[in-house]
Structure 1
Amino acid sequence: MSFYHSLMSGKFQRKSLFLKRTNGRGSWRTYLIYLLGLISVFYGAIFLIPVVPIASNSSADSVYRVKIAPQSGLSAISQQLSDQGIPSNALIFQLAARGLFVGSKLKPGTYLLPTHASLGIILLQIARGDRVRESIAIIPGMTIWQLRKIIDAHPALIHQTKGMGSQELLQALNLSYPGDEGLFYPDTYIFDPDDSDLSIYRRASQAMQKQLNTAWEQKEATSPLKNPYELLILASIVEKETGRSSDRSQVAAVFINRLNLKMPLQTDPTVIYGIGPNFDGNLRKANLRKDSPYNTYMNKGLPPTPIAMPSKESLLAVIHPAKSDAIYFVARGDGSSHFSKTLQEHEKAVDQFQRKRSPTKTYSKP
């Protein structure tokens, strides 16, 4: 009997062990099902439950405007959303961000969130950096008066420089020049709402300095220009005098030739710039007879400062002028210019293209 009982006891033990193993596998399956269920509920909740208010707080009806401050951690972003009307629990927000693997990817800025958007949609949008951007375009040939008026009026900028004088602005930018004209590179500058206007000036001045240095490195030894600032001045004149881009290097050649010959540049745009932003568009003979540092009919050499913001193309045209002996040019009336080597040729061209076509000549305001 003892052997039988021992045998049965062994069988029972083996059966008991088998049942335990079976129950173990079953419990792991149960845990796995529960875990998958919890994960499904979690992701379903963060993607299906809307948290963005229906009522819009922006000009567009279907979006809600929020701002995320720079250098904000997850809990700070959660608090900022909550402060701006989007219900946000810090713990859930952090779990959701880490669950979507975007905890370290959230970017500052101003966002337009779709109304009724879920927490998951919000997190993915902020991680992409899909935010509101603003822009300012500096056009080639634009003057500093025009640029400052545009920047001063932009509603998305914080205006630190409004009311600053020329030298005060230069000091804020750590620049040392006679004036602030011509120092800002023509381009479109993208920025976030509430950026400083000073940051736009700084980016544009750095871009111009880079282009100026690159062009100056290519200067030929025969150039009459003494420094990069003189390059900037002459390039601004070429910018204002060029109606058709293909003429740019020829226009530059005329002025280079005149500088080499010690002739006055005799260019209307410098006189107009000297009149100032109140120029009425009509250049009179009296203006040409009035002495000023910008009157290149009465004074030889370059004016004291640039007269506009020159493009890269104008900078390079001055550095690489056309091979030409021309010292005169006149507008044809179609945007292009006619170039002449002698005064006699030039007078004929003026008769042909201007005097017989129109007795008066008007200009755009600087």
Structure 2
Amino acid sequence: MENYTPREPRDNNAPPARRKQKKQSGCAGALLYLVVIFGIAALLSMVLLFSANDVFAFVKDNRSVTLTVPEDTTVKALSKELDQEGVIHYGSLFKLFVTVTGKDTTVLAGDYTLNPSMDYGAIIRSLRNSTGENTVTITIPEGYTIDQIREALLKHHVCSEESLDDALNTYPFKWDFLKGKTPGKNWLEGYLFPDTYEFYQKNDSAVQVINKMLNNFADKFDQPIADGAAGLGRSMHDIVTIASLVEREAQKEDEFAEIAGVIYNRLNNSQQFPYLQIDATVQYAVGHKDQLTEADLKVDSPYNTYTNKGLPPGPIASPGYTALYAASHPEDNGYYYYVAMPDGSHLFAKTNAEHEANKRKAAEAFEKASTQ
């Protein structure tokens, strides 16, 4: 007879085996819950990031958008149009910004030039102007410095001194050619294109005024100039700097490329000619005067090309198109020296001996001119 092993009594309260399967389902549910939470958080982060970019214009396109605002236009209608034109990306957010910041709910009628690179605050300031206001036409000559441009704008009451200084020295303009540059005193030197402009007198936004000049520079620094710079292995900053030197040194347009050639000859032969020795850079450092002194030529300044090798740290004035083109297409000559004549032309020389002879000729010409 086989041995009989009694079974252990069954515990009726024991959970069925399939409950393990429920526990696994619970883990999967928790994991799904976490995925959903993280997904929502990521989505909200993206929304906040894109919204902040739209409000503060961290990374947006640089282009001009002309907008005509009819009479009695509300912010709601304007927000929709700004969205449609691509100046902003979120019309509802712009409307909310206007409401929260307590700005007016109506906008002056008129024609406006806006830019997607402008933040919400700059857009609102620009929309305070209308074609119904008095306009003033200002000509910024080639070779004007930031200080001279500032004086011209203030003289014609285009905007307040405080707002203009803030725009010139602290406003973070978003143009590609300004990347890597930090706002500060004269950081826009050379990039405010000299031209004739029309502004709204006493009512124009300083940011809009400066942005109009920067936009003009971007248009004028065209493909031929960019191609010339690339062929020379020079950055835009180098080209604008060299162009500003040419603009301040040359008085006759047919000598622009010739003087640019002298500058490049010295830069490309730095062992023999370590110093550019350009008077205009010293003038920028000490202030413009008729005659530089020996002390001026020794002034401690990074812009003194008599004591500092190579190019100065940046432009010394706003060059026009001819100077920009000459800086990117210099004349291929063997000159290393030039000296000014009374009529604004220059005598060029390849050797120091020739240069000394030219200096004597120039001195005699100036002396003769002074007695006439």
Q: Which TM class, normalised by the smaller chain length?
A: 0.5 to 0.7
For 1:150, the aligned partner's letter is: A
**Structure 2: gaps (5+ residues):** 1-67, 74-108, 112-130
**Does 1:259 pair with 2:267?**
yes
Q: Which residue of 2 aligns with 1:271?
A: 282
For 1:243, the aligned partner's letter is: Q
Q: Which residue of 1 aligns with 2:206?
A: 197
For 1:149, the aligned partner's letter is: E
For 2:194, the aligned partner's letter is: P
The structural deviation recorded for 1:255 is 0.3
Q: Which residue of 2 aligns with 1:241?
A: 249
The structural deviation recorded for 1:335 is 1.5
Q: Distance in 2 between matches of 1:341 and 1:189?
A: 42
Q: Distance in 2 between matches of 1:192 and 1:208?
A: 20
**Does 1:323 pair with 2:325?**
no
Task: Assess, with a 3 A threshold, how the Cα gap between structure 1 residues 327 and 191 changes in structure 2: closer, same or farther.
Answer: same
Q: Distance in 2 between matches of 1:294 and 1:224?
A: 22
Which deviates more, 349-358 or 256-265? 349-358
Task: Assess, with a 3 A threshold, how the Cα gap between structure 1 residues 220 and 235 changes in structure 2: closer, same or farther.
Answer: closer
Q: Distance in 2 between matches of 1:315 and 1:172?
A: 22
Partner SS, residue 366 of structure 2: coil
User: TM-score by structure 2 length?
Assistant: 0.58
Q: How does 1:138-287 map to 2 (within 5 A)?
A: 138-157=140-159, 161-164=163-166, 166-169=168-171, 171=172, 175-176=178-179, 177=181, 179-193=187-201, 194-219=203-228, 223=232, 225=234, 227-262=235-270, 263=273, 264-276=275-287, 279-287=288-296
Partner SS, residue 230 of structure 1: helix
Task: Assess, with a 3 A threshold, how the Cα gap between structure 1 residues 356 and 153 changes in structure 2: closer, same or farther.
Answer: closer
Q: Which residue of 2 aligns with 1:39?
A: none
Q: Which residue of 1 aligns with 2:53?
A: none
- Alignment root-mean-square deviation, CA: 3.3
**Native 8 Å contact 2:158 2:199 kept in 1:** no
The structural deviation recorded for 1:152 is 2.3
Q: Distance in 1 between matches of 2:292 and 2:209?
A: 33
**Native 8 Å contact 1:139 1:186 kept in 2:** yes
Moved over 6 A (4+): none
CA shift digits 1:243-273 (9 cap, x unpaired): 1111111011000111101121110000110
Partner SS, residue 218 of structure 1: helix
**Native 8 Å contact 2:283 2:289 kept in 1:** no
For 1:256, the aligned partner's letter is: Y
**Structure 1: gaps (5+ residues):** 1-68, 75-106, 110-128, 362-366
Q: How does 1:1-366 map to 2 (within 5 A)?
A: 70-73=69-72, 108=110, 132-157=134-159, 161-164=163-166, 166-169=168-171, 171=172, 175-176=178-179, 177=181, 179-193=187-201, 194-219=203-228, 223=232, 225=234, 227-262=235-270, 263=273, 264-276=275-287, 279-354=288-363, 357-358=366-367
Task: Assess, with a 3 A threshold, how the Cα gap between structure 1 residues 158 and 287 changes in structure 2: closer, same or farther.
Answer: closer
The structural deviation recorded for 1:354 is 2.0
The structural deviation recorded for 1:275 is 1.4
CA shift digits 1:69-105 (9 cap, x unpaired): 943159xxxxxxxxxxxxxxxxxxxxxxxxxxxxxxx
For 1:200, the aligned partner's letter is: V
For 2:135, the aligned partner's letter is: R
The structural deviation recorded for 1:173 is 5.9
For 2:335, the aligned partner's letter is: A
The structural deviation recorded for 1:203 is 0.9
Partner SS, residue 292 of structure 2: coil
Partner SS, residue 292 of structure 1: coil
User: TM-score by structure 1 length?
Assistant: 0.59
Q: Distance in 2 between matches of 1:220 and 1:195?
A: 35
For 1:203, the aligned partner's letter is: K
For 2:216, the aligned partner's letter is: A
Task: Assess, with a 3 A threshold, how the Cα gap between structure 1 residues 297 and 355 changes in structure 2: closer, same or farther.
Answer: farther
Task: Assess, with a 3 A threshold, how the Cα gap between structure 1 residues 303 and 327 changes in structure 2: closer, same or farther.
Answer: same
The structural deviation recorded for 1:164 is 2.6
Q: Distance in 2 between matches of 1:71 and 1:331?
A: 56
Q: Distance in 2 between matches of 1:159 and 1:72?
A: 30
Matched residue count: 242
Give the percent of matched residue pairs that are identical in Structure 1 and Structure 2.
31
Partner SS, residue 164 of structure 1: helix
The structural deviation recorded for 1:190 is 1.5
Which deviates more, 181-190 or 155-164? 155-164
CA shift digits 1:15-56 (9 cap, x unpaired): xxxxxxxxxxxxxxxxxxxxxxxxxxxxxxxxxxxxxxxxxx
For 2:281, the aligned partner's letter is: T
Task: Assess, with a 3 A threshold, how the Cα gap between structure 1 residues 158 and 284 changes in structure 2: closer, same or farther.
Answer: closer
The structural deviation recorded for 1:291 is 2.8
Q: Distance in 1 between matches of 2:293 and 2:189?
A: 24
